[in-house]
Each structure stands twice: as C-alpha cells, then as structure tokens.
Amino acid sequence: MAKLYFYYASMNAGKSTTLLQADFNYRERGMRTMLWTAALDDRAVGKPIASRIGLEAEAHRFDAATDLWAEVSRAHADTPLDCILIDEAQFLTKEQVWQCARLADQAGIPVLCYGLRTDFQGELFAGSAALLGIADALVELKAVCHCGRKASMNLRVDGAGNPVAEGAQTEIGGNERYVALCRRHFREAIGKT
C-alpha cells in the first residue's frame, strides 16, 4: 500500500540530499520517479533540486496553481511511476497535499515530501501543517545547533548577521539568510520570552 510521507527539518538538515538519495535508490533498481520542487525557489543555477553537498537533479516545478493530481496522473498513464518526490514541500497548498494523499491512496504511488516544518517566526507553513495532519509517516531529519543540541528552528538574519523577527513568511535564501538553531538559542536570538 502506497503512503504519503513527510520528512521535515530545519535548514541545513540534508532534506534535499536525502530526497536525491531516495531518488537514486529507486532509479538504481530500474524504477521510475518524478521529482517536483517549488517554482519560487530559483536559487539553483543548473538543476532545480540542488543540495549543499553538490548533488542535483532535474525536477518539475509547482506553484499554487499546479494540479499535482492531474499532472502526475497524466505522466503515470503514459509510463507507470514508482515514486513521487517533492522538495520544498512547505510551499504546497493544503489542496495540493490532499492531491498527494490521493496519489498514494488511489493511484498507488508513494509520495515522499521533504520540507521545513516552521518559518523564521516558529509558525507552520500551510503545506507543512497539512502534511503534519494527514501524512501516513512523519520523519524528522536532524540538524545541529552551534551548542550541539538538535536544531529545530530557522533564524532569519540580515546581511550583517543580525536576527530578523518580522517580515514576509517566505524569503528564499540559504546560509546567508538563515541559521538553524535549537529552540533555546532561537528564543534568545529573537528576544522571545
């Protein structure tokens, strides 16, 4: 029975690397995968999914208007798919998460979603909230805070490295804009009591 999985973590936990490894494992066994990532993340200079350790792959891009059920079903009818892998899953809409569940339930295709759980203010992203609510399996990937504890929060910083506590929920960036911290150091950095 196919399942909907949500692999979540803070920044720098290896989500994209883990996705690319899972894709490799499927393809190495002669299975067909379909990769997706958020269209708004345009940092990758060659291929849409790129990890910090240098792995990369081609992927379809989704935005809020993408009908994942229709797009994947069309491809699956042409050549059966064995797995769907979605990077930056926090940017899925609630409806798209339900489409992923339908792909697992009705089409019988495992759907592996990888993304952040919370934003720079500790608030859930819409896609992450839906995935936490309905995914069959939740897997937390671990990053490490500078103190050695598990990093579960994403601190946004400005160009000088100072904490940013307000702003738009989505601002694309990497190590120059975000620091993964444990909850204690996150609270201290933004002055949250």
Residue 13, in any domain of the structure: yes
Residue 11, in any domain of the structure: yes
Structural domain boundaries, residue 106: 4-142
Residue 106, in any domain of the structure: yes
Q: Which residue numbers are catalytic?
A: 88
Residue 7 pLDDT greater than 60, yes or no? yes
Residue 189, in any domain of the structure: no
Residue tagged 């208007």 (tokens) = 65
Residue 111: give its domain's CATH number. Answer: 3.40.50.300
167 or 173, greater pLDDT: 167
Asked if 49 and 37 count as a contact pair (C-beta separation under 8 A), the reply is: yes
Residue 112, in any domain of the structure: yes
Residue 155, in any domain of the structure: no
Q: What is the mean pLDDT of residues 138-152?
A: 95
Q: What is the mean pLDDT of residues 179-184?
A: 93
Residue 181, in any domain of the structure: no
User: Lowest-pLDDT range, 55-59, 62-66, 143-147, 174-178?
Assistant: 174-178
Cβ-proximal residues to 166 (8 Å cutoff; 6+ apart), any chain? 121
Asked if 81 and 34 count as a contact pair (C-beta separation under 8 A), the reply is: yes
Residue 14 pLDDT greater than 70, yes or no? yes
Residue 175, in any domain of the structure: no
Residue 144 pLDDT greater than 80, yes or no? yes
What's residue 174's pLDDT? 60
Residue 174, amino acid:
G
What is the count of structural domains for the chain?
A: 1
